[in-house]
Amino acid sequence: MFKGIDHVSIAVENLEEAVALYVERFGACIKHREFIEKDGVEVATVDIGGMCIELVEGKRSDSPIRKFVEKRGPGIHHIAFEVDDIEAALASLEAASIQLIDKKPRAGKEGSLVAFVHPASTQKILYEIVQKNPTAR
Amino acid sequence: MFKGIDHVSIAVENLEEAVALYVERFGACIKHREFIEKDGVEVATVDIGGMCIELVEGKRSDSPIRKFVEKRGPGIHHIAFEVDDIEAALASLEAASIQLIDKKPRAGKEGSLVAFVHPASTQKILYEIVQKNPTAR
């Protein structure tokens, strides 16, 4: 069902400092940057050897990322699996009694469609499902 | 410096239940299983679309993984970067003032050499560096 890991997402305190660490120390390159208004987050995706790490800073006090960092400190927030067909993937997960946070796909970064799976069904790990280029399929 | 993400490691409460979730619900296949005596952990590596997730259960009360789970609950434990030459990678990281937990590589699973980077230098994220097949280079 899953094509692989699209990215690992890290909730950070300060996006500029995080980007500097990954680019200057780890040799990553910046692949994408975006402010996502509805979630109140600034996102930078960095590429390390063809694999993506998403660095996310909550910019508003109501941002779930800001709340995560305030409660637990910066840390790995979720893992995103890539799928070809997010509607089919969500149907399969529901058929397997996996609880979904998003029963319908919603808009993600870079024009993708995304949905989150409830950690209650995945032994406490937050997973995101991503379909890139949804218009291209 | 880094070739990419070798695996994402998840500290679990019960390895059999974790393997069942990933294999039966997520369509993963088991790539490797090993009990690592010195760390007191049982490890199962599962492959999802060519990407690896390492599921780790602490089997002894002195296991850092057991302590992690008791303190914080099951969760994503670390991200492992693959390198061609772990000695060179550690030297580069030290030259960049990155603090290391393991200044010298040590034996990891499947005959690899591994070293952990101190989260104090990586904005609280635990990173592992992995050189697979060290005799082959």
Neighboring chain B residues of A130 at a CB cutoff of 8 Å:
none
Please give the model's pTM, rounded to 2 decimal places. Answer: 0.94
Please tell me the distance from the alpha carbon of residue A10 to that of residue A4, in angstroms, as a whole number. 18
The answer to whether the CB atoms of A74 and B125 lie below 8 A apart is: yes
Q: What is the mean pLDDT of chain A?
A: 94
Question: Is the predicted pLDDT of residue A137 greater than 60, yes or no?
Answer: no
Distance from CA of A131 to the nearest CA of B (A): 15
CB B101 within 8 A of CB B93: no
Across chain B, the runs of DSSP E, i.e. the strands, are: 4-11, 29-36, 41-48, 51-58, 75-82, 106-107, 113-117, 127-131
Closest CB to A21 among B2, B50, B123: B123
Q: Is any Cβ of chain A less than 8 angstroms from the Cβ of B135? A: no
Whether B104 shows a pLDDT value over 80: the answer reads yes
Whose structure tokens read 């780890």? A26
The reply to whether residue A8 touches residue B8, judged by beta carbons under 8 angstroms, is: yes
Which candidate from B17, B82, B124 shows the least CB-CB separation from A73? B124
pLDDT digits (tens, 9 = 90+) for B9-22: 999 999 999 999 99
Digit-coded pLDDT (tens) for A34-62: 999 989 999 999 999 888 999 999 999 99
Check residue A4 and give left, alpha or beta (phi > 0: left; psi -120 to 50: alpha): left
CB contact residues (below 8 A), chain A span 21-60, against chain B: 21, 24-27, 48-51, 53
Distance (Å, rounded) from C-alpha B114 to C-alpha B133? Answer: 11
What is the identity of the amino acid at A34? Answer: E
Q: Are B12 and B56 in contact (CB under 8 A)?
A: yes
Contact B10, B53 (CB under 8 A): yes
Q: What number is the average pLDDT over the span B35-57?
A: 94
Tokens (6 digits) for B92: 């580069």
Name the percent of chain B lying above pLDDT 70. Answer: 99
Q: What is the DSSP string of B63-84?
A: -HHHHHHHHH-SEEEEEEEE-S
The pLDDT-based confidence of B135 (bands split at 50, 70, 90) is confident
Sorted by where each starts, the structural domains of chain B and their CATH numbers stand as 4-136 (3.10.180.10)
**CB-based contact A129:A81 (threshold 8 Å):** yes
